[in-house]
Amino acid sequence: MADMVSDAPGEEQALEEVVRFTSDLIRIDTSNRGGGDCAERPAAEYVAERLAEVGIEPRILESAPGRANVVARLEGSQPDAAGLLVHGHLDVVPAELAEWSVHPFSGEIREGLVWGRGAIDMKNMDAMVLATVRAWAREGRRPRRDIVLAFTADEEDNAAFGSDYLVRQHAGIFEGCTEAIGEAGAFTLHDGPQRRLYPIGAGERGTAWLKLTARGRPGHGSKSNSENAVSRLAAALTRIAEHQWPIRLTRTVHAALTELAALYGVDQAEVPEVSNAVNGADGVDVDALLPKLGPAAALIAPTLRNSANPTMLSAGYKINVIPGSATAHIDGRIVPGGAEEFTETLDRLTGPHVDWEFHHREAALQAPVNSPTYAAMCEAVEHFDPGAHTIPYCMAGGTDAKQFSRLGITGYGFAPLKLPPDFDYQGLYHGVDERVPVEALHFGVRVLDRFLSR
C-alpha cells in the first residue's frame, strides 16, 4: 500500500472542509441538559450525509427519539490486523447566551478562530475525523487496519443514550477493535518560547457520582433538635470536603513524572516508584516535585489522588420545619486501584447517620505507554511539530472510553491540536467564548491522517 501521508493531493480540500464542518456542527444546537433533555439527531444526520457523499456507508442508531449515534466501518488493507475505534461525541454542554461575546451556536469564523459551543469539546475532533476519512475516500486510500467510526450521543451526561447504548445493544459493530482514540489529548502546552509539550491521554480516573441521604427527627424549627437531618448532612459534607486524600501513584502518572523529570533536568531519585503507598513513600514528596515539572504538572496534580466534591444539596420545604431527611450529591473520582480506599473512606466520613450510594459509577482506566499505537501517536505529533515533546497523562475526568472499555478496547485521548502560546485550552472546556484556531484544526487533520494511516 502506498504510504499515506499528509501531503496527499486532497489535503487542501480536507483543510477547507475541517473548518467548514466544525462551524456547521457548532450551528446545530445539541445542548445536553441531562435527564434525557437533548437531541443529537440533526447533528447525526449531518455527519451521516458527509460520510455518504463519499461512499462511506453510515448507520444512524437511535437509542430514543432524537438521541442518535452514527457508526461506520472503514476496511483496512490488512484484514488480520486488529481494528481501531475512533470516537467523538455530538452533544455539548449548555451555554448561557448573555455570558458570551458571540452567539454560542453561531459557528462564527473570524480572526483565524472558529467560535462556539463545541469548538473544543468536541465538534472540532468530529470535523477533523470527517475531513480525514473523506479525503481517503476521494483518493481511494485505505488505512492499514480496520477503523470503526463512532459519533456518539449523551457523553456530556452519563452516556446512557450514546456509548453505553452502543456497547449494550450493538457490540458487534466493534468486533475486532482492540484500541481506540477519543477526546482530550495531544494539545499544545507551552513552557516559554521554545518548549512545547503534547500530553496524550493514557488513563482516566473512575467516575463515582454519589447520593448522600441523612435521616433525622422532624420537628418545629424553634425547638432544639440533636437529630437534625440537615445538620447531620452538613457535618458529613464538611468532613468529606476537608479530607486530605493520600497519593496513589499509578503507572500512567509515574510514566508522566519520569518523562517530565528527565525533560526538566530533575533528579530521577525524586520520582517515587509506582505503589499504593501513601504520600511520602520511599521518602519522596510528590507534591514538592510538581512545581519543578512545568505546566504539565497542573494536569498531573488532580490525578494523584481520589477526590470527592459536594455539588448539590436538597432539604426541607418550609423555614420553620425541621425536615426528617436531607440529601446531597457528590462528584467523586477514583484513581486506578483506588476503589477500595474510596469506599472505606466514604463509609468513615459519612458517619452513622448518613447513608450513601453510587448514583453513577464507571471504572478507572489505564493504557500502556509502551505500545506501538502510543508510539505512532507520538511520532505523528512530533513529525508535524519538530522539537515538541509528547508525554502521557491520566485524565482527571472521564470520556466514552470508559464504556468502550467493557468490550476490551483500550482507550487513548488523542484529538491533536497545535495551539498558540497563552491559548487557554483547559479553560475553554465548558467555558465561555469557546473557540479553536483554524491552524489548530489544520494541524489536527495532518496528524490524524498520518497516525490513522500508519
> What's the confidence (pLDDT) of residue 283?
54
What pLDDT score does 454 carry? 86
Local confidence pLDDT in tens for the 454 residues of the chain: 333 444 454 799 999 999 999 999 999 999 999 999 999 999 999 999 999 999 999 999 999 999 999 999 999 999 899 999 999 999 999 999 999 999 999 999 999 999 999 999 999 999 999 999 999 999 999 999 999 999 999 999 999 999 999 999 999 999 999 999 999 999 999 998 889 999 999 999 999 999 999 999 999 999 999 999 999 999 999 999 999 999 999 999 999 999 999 999 999 999 988 764 444 445 578 989 999 999 999 999 999 999 999 999 999 999 999 999 999 999 999 999 999 999 999 999 999 999 999 999 999 999 999 999 999 999 999 999 999 999 999 999 899 999 999 999 999 999 999 999 999 999 999 999 999 999 999 999 999 999 999 8
- Residue 3: what pLDDT? 37
Q: Which of 453, 444, 452 is nearest to 18 (CA)?
A: 444
Cα–Cα nearest to 329, from 447, 211, 427: 211
What pLDDT score does 275 carry?
A: 62
Rounded distance between C-alpha atoms, residue 206 and residue 96, angstroms: 29
Here the cell at position 380 is 505523528
Distance between CA 382 and CA 336 in Å, rounded? Answer: 29
* Cis check: omega of the bond before 312, within 30 degrees of 0: no
Specify burial of residue 372 (Cβ count, 10 A radius: 0-12, 13-18, 19+). Answer: exposed
Domain boundaries, the chain: 11-184+399-453, 206-245+306-362
Q: Which three cell numbers stand for residue 443?
A: 494541524
At residue 85, the pLDDT reads: 98
444, 416 contact by CB (below 8 A) = yes
Q: Does domain 206-245+306-362 have CATH number 3.30.70.360?
A: yes
Cβ neighbours of residue 407 under 8 Å, at least 6 residues apart? 167, 171, 174, 177
Q: Which helix (H) or strand (E) holds 441?
A: helix 438-453
Cell reading at 333: 473520582
- Residue 201 CA to residue 182 CA, distance in Å, equals 9
Q: Does the CA dihedral 296-209-233-240 come out positive or negative?
A: negative
Cell of 407: 468490550
Give the CATH number of domain 11-184+399-453; options: 3.30.365.10, 3.40.630.10, 3.40.50.300, 3.30.300.30.
Answer: 3.40.630.10
Instruction: State the pLDDT at residue 1.
Output: 31
The alpha carbon of 321 is separated from its chain's Cα centroid by a whole number of angstroms, namely: 43
The two most distant CA atoms of the chain are separated, in Å, by 82
Q: Tell whether the torsion through CA atoms of 22, 27, 28 and 30 is positive or negative.
A: positive
Q: Rounded to the nearest 5 degrees, what angle is found at the Cα of 376, between the Cα atoms of 58 and 374?
A: 90
Q: Which parts of 112-176 are beta strand (E)? A: 113-115, 147-152
Q: CA 203 to CA 98: how far, in whole Å?
A: 36
C-alpha dihedral sign at 56, 60, 66, 69 = negative
Q: What is the pLDDT of residue 175?
A: 97
Q: Answer yes or no: are the C-beta atoms of 451 and 377 closer than 8 Å.
A: yes
User: How far is 379 from 370, CA to CA, in rounded Å?
Assistant: 13
pTM: 0.93
